[in-house]
Copies of this chain bind each other. A is one copy, B any other.
Amino acid sequence: MNLDVDLSPLREFLEAEELDGYLIDDDASDSDQRYVSGFTAPDPYQTLVTREGVHLLVSGLEYGRASAEANVDSVTRRAAYDYQQLVAEYGRYEGKIRMLAAFLEDHDVDSIAVPRNFPTGTADGLREHDFAVTVEREGTVTEIRATKTEWEVDQIRASQRANEAAMARAEELIATADVEDGVLVHDGDVLTSERVTEEIEVTLLRHGCALDETIVASGADGADPHDRGSGPLEPDELIVIDIFPRDKETGYFADMTRTFARGDPGEEARRRYEVTREAYEAALETVEAGVTGADVHGAACDVIEDAGYETLRSDPNTETGFIHSTGHGVGLDIHEEPSVSPSGGELEAGHVISIEPGIYDPAVGGVRIEDLIAVTEDGYENLTEYRIGLEPTAGDR
Binding-face segment, A152-160, A197-205, A275-283: A197-205
Report whether B93 and A120 are in contact in the complex, using a CB–CB cutoff of 8 Å: no
A interface residues, how many (CB within 8 angstroms)? 30
On whether A119 and B120 interact (CB within 8 A), knowing A137-B93, A205-B205, the answer reads yes
Query: Using a CB-CB cutoff of 8 Å, which residues 129-152 of chain A contact chain B?
Result: 133, 135, 137
| Distance in Å: Cβ of A332 to nearest Cβ of chain B | 15
Report whether B116 and A135 are in contact in the complex, using a CB–CB cutoff of 8 Å: no
A61 at the interface (CB under 8 A from B): yes
On whether A137 and B121 interact (CB within 8 A), knowing A210-B210, A213-B42, the answer reads yes
A122 at the interface (CB under 8 A from B): yes
A212 at the interface (CB under 8 A from B): yes
Pick from B61, B116, B198, B210: contact of A226, CB under 8 Å: B61
A 204-216 binary contact with B (CB < 8 Å = 1; else 0) = 0110001011000
A 359-397 binary contact with B (CB < 8 Å = 1; else 0) = 000000000000000000000000000000000000000
Report whether A119 and B118 are in contact in the complex, using a CB–CB cutoff of 8 Å: yes
Task: For A122, list chain B residues within 8 Å (CB).
Answer: 116, 120
Pick from B124, B210, B213: contact of A135, CB under 8 Å: B124
Nearest residue in B to A334 (C-beta to C-beta)?
B42
On whether A133 and B120 interact (CB within 8 A), knowing A42-B213, A205-B205, A206-B198, the answer reads yes
- What are 17 contact pairs spanning A and B, CB under 8 A? A61-B226, A93-B116, A93-B137, A116-B120, A116-B121, A117-B119, A117-B120, A118-B121, A119-B119, A119-B120, A120-B120, A120-B122, A120-B135, A123-B123, A124-B135, A201-B205, A205-B205
Query: Given known contacts A123-B124, A125-B135, what 16 new A-B pairs fall within 8 Å (CB)?
Result: A61-B226, A115-B121, A116-B120, A117-B119, A117-B121, A118-B119, A120-B120, A120-B122, A120-B123, A120-B133, A121-B135, A121-B137, A198-B206, A202-B202, A210-B212, A212-B248
